[in-house]
Structure 1
Amino acid sequence: MSVMSLTPTRRELLAAATTTVALSLLPKTLRAAGSDAIHPFTVKIPQAELDELRRRIAATRWPDPEPVHDRSQGIQLANLQEIVRYWETEYDWRKAESKLNALPQFITEIDGLDIHFIHVRSKHENALPLIVTHGWPGSIIEQLKIIDPLTNPTAHGANAADAFHLVIPSMPGFGFSGKPNDTGWNPNRIARAWTVLMNRLGYTRYVAQGGDWGSPVSSAMARRNPPGLLGIHINLPATVPQDVAMALAGGAPAPAGLSEKERAAFDSLATFFKKYRAYGAIMGTRPQAIGYALADTPVGLAAWILDYNNGEPERLLNRDDVLDNITLYWLTNTATSAARIYWETSGQSVLLSAAQKTAEISLPVAITVFPGEVYRAPETWARRAYRNLIYFNEVDRGGHFAAWEQPELLAAELRTAFRQLRKST
């Protein structure tokens, strides 16, 4: 892979970093040329792209206001217009760009596709390598706040023995990674690519973490059980039993015999599938059709992302956090390619234990349940789904975007969850 092999648009967007500085961060074994070479990377968006974004925002043709007084038909017009006004007149992408460029970023070719990743090594000896996977409608922007707590724990009141070397890749079709031009880039294939990436970085023992689509990717890594992978942590576990899944799919009442926590989980899931799951059905069946709108109008893209799970990103994050992520999707034109992850799995939910084949996972699994998640996975379901569950904890704050919303809390959970795996090897 070389920068010159990219399309003209991506050549402009993906300028290479200063070679001398960036390569000094890599072990000598990683500096060789060839298809497995690792190249330094810098984000440098041309000003013309940012000017065009503002022009398109200003030219938006708005729909009529919703005839209801809540978000039951989607994000409300007045609310979206306020966010978009800030996006057009005050938001500064260069701040996000500077945050990204302050971190060591790289590109490497795996399975014929350019994979972008952040790679931050801890200063502490015996740090445990950790690969973290984002989901949709997220990106690497989600994980920026957990980097320092995980790699530099002593600065956050934690022990040096709990430090991590951190690898944060952009999923295929997302952000600065390449867009697949063939099918088959499902969680299993991504898991294989992540295993190659960790081996290429020279890591012989490591752990994996993920939420949203990062959960099935991490679970697929654990199913494959590659040499060196010690265990995984997930914060959106696939714990929904088959009988519950069938009741949800058919709109039937909850199965008999559920505990209070299991019934609460069923009710949350029923609401989610009834009111908020349409985005998954559309992208799971017609990603190209919705993709034309997402690629053509920034306000349409913003509305699509902001309405996810009834507007949760906006509710739990500040405007700059949200717009950093939306702007990354826009500038890389990856809304359509990212949506195809749903098509690749036939629109299957990441929550279903049978769909994710959790029974085939023998490696240690750790789970943290956040109260603002799509549903609170009961421990009883978790232990049925994962036969080697070594850690389960319900925390008191945070939601679907745990790394974004509660970085210190998630970092503490990962330190605790993986501590016994450090000691066992």
Structure 2
Amino acid sequence: MSEIEPYRIAVPQAALDDLQYRLEHVRWSDEIDGAGWDYGSPVAELKEQVEYWRTRYDWRATETRLNAYPQFTTTIDGQRIHFLHVRSARPDALPLILNHGWPGSIAEFLDVIEPLTTPGDDGIAFDLVIPSLPGFGFSGPTSSRGWNPQRIAAVWAELMRRLGYQRYGAAGNDWGSDIAPELGRAAPAAVVGVHVTQIFSDVAASEYDRTSDEERAAVEELEWFQENMDAYGYLQTQQPQSLAHALTDSPVGLLGWHNLIYRGDLDHDFVLTNVMIHWLTGTVASAMRIYYESDRSTKPPEPTTAPLGLAQFRDDIHAVRRFAERDHANIVSWNVYDTGGHFAAHQEPELLVDDLRSFFTPLR
């Protein structure tokens, strides 16, 4: 089955009523006074978010915003795939597929759709394809093993072929920063370039040159992250299903777990929209499985060769170029910004759009 069917989000009111009931009948955890984030998501912060969720957050407004863009579904490799397909008015626009991560969704990119599809001063504009990753949101849940970045990239190559695109760019954030380079590997004749907001290299601590200020800072940052922030990575790599039972049953539990990534200065509406997409589609378990599947997959040993650009934002994991060049043989753009964080498309949309334009202009 290769048909592409129009799609419109229409969450039943009963699902929203059930959510409201759960938010009004929370069984709160105890915690140690003054612990802050030492043990994880603090009760006081979570209560404030839940109060906003219960009394002020408007899913129907979010649904309307999402439905303002053309959406479709198709079946590839036995899996339903949902995607936004937003064309530019410019007839020579470059097709660009945008890849989100965990615990994100297509909502990561809502703030960049209009500026990317509108021609800039340099004339470049994009036709955007924004899919929900298999197992995430409206592309889920998955019902088979093996949905790792390489398999997803192969599905994206087929999706772009079905849409009639013979030349296109790929961009990504979080898991999308793994998937986009793999798409360049899967469809080398079609992908003109790959743009990412992180470069994840497998590097042993002993490989860092601690006499280099850049590399010493990078390894200290990585070690701190692994010791203090990576609980979700360890658990979802090993036992995602064990946690999924609790998170599928409790929206507050789901928010508390996702806060491991969302902690910081992100606004409530952005956080809750992404959490809602996981909750309402019943994809809590299947979205987490990407960690398990990736850990059990074998990455090709050779580096990627598509032209690659990095836009690295301040409050995110920083890459070291010499290790990145070991994994990617054709890095042509490397920009570091002193603002923004892990969700740059929402936190710094203008900077990200400018970086995408600058990167793809000579490649179109």
Could you state the TM-score of these two structures normalised by the residue count of structure 2? 0.96
Matched, 1:50 2:12: no
2:53 maps to which of 87, 90, 93: 87
Q: 1:202 aligns with which of 164, 171, 181?
A: 164
Alpha-carbon distance between aligned partners in 2 of 1:273 and 1:299, rounded to the nearest angstrom: 25
Give 1:16's aligned residue: none
Indicate the larger mover: 232-241 or 290-299: 232-241
| 1:372 paired residue number | 315
Q: Distance in 1 between matches of 2:338 and 2:208?
A: 28
- Structure 1 distance, partners of 2:306, 2:188, is 10
Secondary structure of 1:176 counterpart: helix
Which consecutive residues of structure 1, in runs of 5 or more, have no partner in the other structure?
Answer: 1-34, 248-253, 349-354
Moved more, 379-388 or 397-406: 379-388
2:88 matches 1:126: no
Match of residue 329 from structure 1: 278
SS in 1 for 2:340: coil
Task: Give the deviation of 1:358 after TM superposition.
Answer: 7.2
Aligned-pair distance for 1:357?
Answer: 4.8
Match of 1:117 in 2: 83
Aligned to 2:292: 343
RMSD: 1.7
Query: What residue number does 1:271 align with?
Result: 224
Residues matched between the structures, number: 364
Report deviation, 1:255: 4.4
Counterpart position of 2:135:
173
Amino acid across the alignment from 1:367: L
Give the AA of the match of 1:338: A
Shift of 1:59: 1.3
1:48-92 deviation per Cα after TM superposition (whole angstroms, max 9, x unaligned): 111110101111111113344321111111111011011112211
Equivalent residue, structure 1, for 2:339: 397
CA contact (8 A) 2:208 2:215 kept: no
Letter in 1 for 2:49: I
CA distance change for structure 1 residues 232 and 172 in 2, over 3 Å: closer, same or farther?
same
The runs of 5 or more residues in structure 2 that have no matched partner are none
1:320 aligns with 2:286: no
Query: How many Å separate the matches in 2 of 1:204 and 1:258?
Result: 46
Bigger RCO (CA 8 Å, 6+ sep): 2
What is the alpha-carbon distance in structure 1 between the residues aligned to residue 211 and residue 312 of structure 2? 19
Distance 1:107 1:276 in 2: 35
Instruction: Using the aligned pairs only, state the percent identity.
Output: 44
Following TM superposition, the consecutive aligned residue runs of length 4 or more in structure 1 with deviations greater than 6 angstroms are: none
Matches within 5 A, 1:354-365: 357=300, 359-365=302-308
TM-score calculated relative to the size of structure 1: 0.82
Distance across 2 between alignment mates of 1:199 and 1:165: 14
Counting only pairs closer than 5 Å after superposition, residues 213-232 of structure 1 correspond to structure 2 as 213-232=175-194
- Asked whether the 8 Å contact 1:129–1:206 carries over to 2, the reply is yes
Answer whether contact 2:310 2:334 (CA < 8 A) is retained: yes
| Equivalent in the alignment of 1:420 | 362
The whole-number CA distance in structure 1 between the counterparts of 2:324 and 2:150 is 21
Residue identity matched to 1:372: D
The 8 Å contact of residues 205 and 229 in structure 1, kept in 2 or not, is answered as yes
